[in-house]
Structure formats: structure tokens, C-alpha cells
Amino acid sequence: MHSAVQLAGFHYIACLKAVPTSADHSLAFGNSTYSFLSIATADSGVLRAEFQRWATSAVLRDLVEHFSVFLLAVYSDALAANPDTKFVPTPAQFERLGVEAQLAALAANFPVDNAWTSRLIAYNKARNCLAHRVGVVGLQDVTENDELVVRWLTAKVALHEGSIEKQIEARGPMAHLIQGEHVGGKAATIEVLDRERRFKIGSPISFMPDELLGICQTLHAAAAAYDTLVTSSPSSRK
């Protein structure tokens, strides 16, 4: 999963560096020339915005699809680690589920933090909205009241005076996922912050580059959190 996140981040960074303009309306390939007049007369600002929306959609699609494959591996390993427990669904059934149903199955069988489930479901809904509704939020995309709420984690590092411990102090939600050692001459703390974007029904989805890259980083942490299911005990609800 980590290599998939890295590749998705690379694709997005490459798209950010590309600067599409109306001059890119034709291409000579072999003995043929392909030309699109609507591109030739389009506003370059609109082209860039549409290209970035497409890039966001492609990156979220790849992330969600790879995470679904990753969850199948986690579920199969977790079942193998608990051979005396009967689980529903079976791995074959789990593979055919959509990612939201997979997350629900894991939450029903293992002690999963609901914060992870809600974040990941929102990523999938944002992906579906971009892919199927041109990025305009519909009723099926809503996660809270009349809004699609997309959340991700970010780390805020602060340097300050004081005694320097070997390990950097981490605070905030999911702080236990942050590990680091001092390499400089000042004391430091890392605060894990929850960021969010809210999109009402009928409004278009858009993310700033740092927000989408923050989602990529959050999926690294999510993969680490779900990986621990292999060694965790089944939920007490079973």
C-alpha cells in the first residue's frame, strides 16, 4: 500500500508541474495529425483547472482501489491469525465488496477506530463524486447532514527552548503513529492536527495541492493502523 501511495503522489506532483495551454490542441503521430479546435479556442485558465480536477479524480481513484486490495490482504491475514474464530464474510465474499462495505466488515469483526472508517469512506465518496458527477456533490455523497466532509491528518512541528529528549514528543489525535528522534540542536514537539473540507450538496469538489498530498500522507498512516488488525483480537461484539 505504501508504494501505491508513493506512486499516486508522484502522478499528482507530475500533473502539478504540467502547464496545459490552448497551444496543446494538436498532435502529430506517425502519418496522422489529431487536432481539437475547441481546445485551441479555450481559455488556458479553464484548461488548467479542468486538468487539475481530472488529476485529483485519478489520484483518488487509484488510492481507493489500491486500498481496497490492501484491505483484502489485511482481512485474509487477520482471519489466518484467528483460525478458531468464524468470520463473516469469507475472503472471497470480502473481495467482491465495495470499499465501504469492506470497511464495515472489518469494523464489525475487529476493534477499528471509527475515525479511520469515516475518513476512508469520505475519500471514496469524493472519488465517486469526481468520477460520476463531474465533481458536483449529490445526495449520495453526503457524510454529515447535507455535506460531504473530507478529513485528513497533518503534522505541525514546533521548535522551542528546553531540555532535549531523544524522542520527539507527539501530541494530538493519532499521535502514537508519529515517531521521531532529534537530530538538531533544539527541542521539538509534533502536534497531529485533523484538517477538513466541507462541501454542500450542489457545490463542486476541489482540493488544494497540499490538501490532496495530505490525504496521501494520511493513507500511509491508515495503512499502518489497519495492518495492526493482523495481530489484534477480534471485536468483543463477535
Residues 6+ apart with CB under 8 A from 66: 1, 4, 5, 8
Per the domain annotation, does 10 fall within a domain? yes
For 93-144, the pLDDT digits (tens) are 999 999 999 999 999 988 888 999 999 999 999 999 998 998 999 999 999 9
Asked if residue 158 is part of any domain, the answer here is no
Whether the Cβ atoms of residue 150 and residue 118 lie closer than 8 Å to each other: no
Split at pLDDT 50, 70, 90, the class of 238 is very low
Q: Does any domain span residue 166?
A: no
Tell me whether residue 189 is in a domain.
no
Taking the alpha carbons at both ends of the chain, their separation in whole angstroms is 28
Domain count, the chain: 1
To which H or E segment does residue 144 belong?
A: none
Q: Rounded to two decimals, what is the model's pTM?
A: 0.83
> Does residue 181 form part of some domain?
no
Task: Tally the C-alpha atoms within 13 A of residue 85's C-alpha that lie toward its C-beta.
Answer: 18
- The amino acid present at 216, given as its one-letter code, is C
Find the mean pLDDT for residues 77-84: 88
Residue 46 lies in a domain: yes
Bond into 83 cis (ω within 30): no
Determine, yes or no, domain membership for 143: yes
* Range(s) of the domain holding residue 37: 2-150+198-230
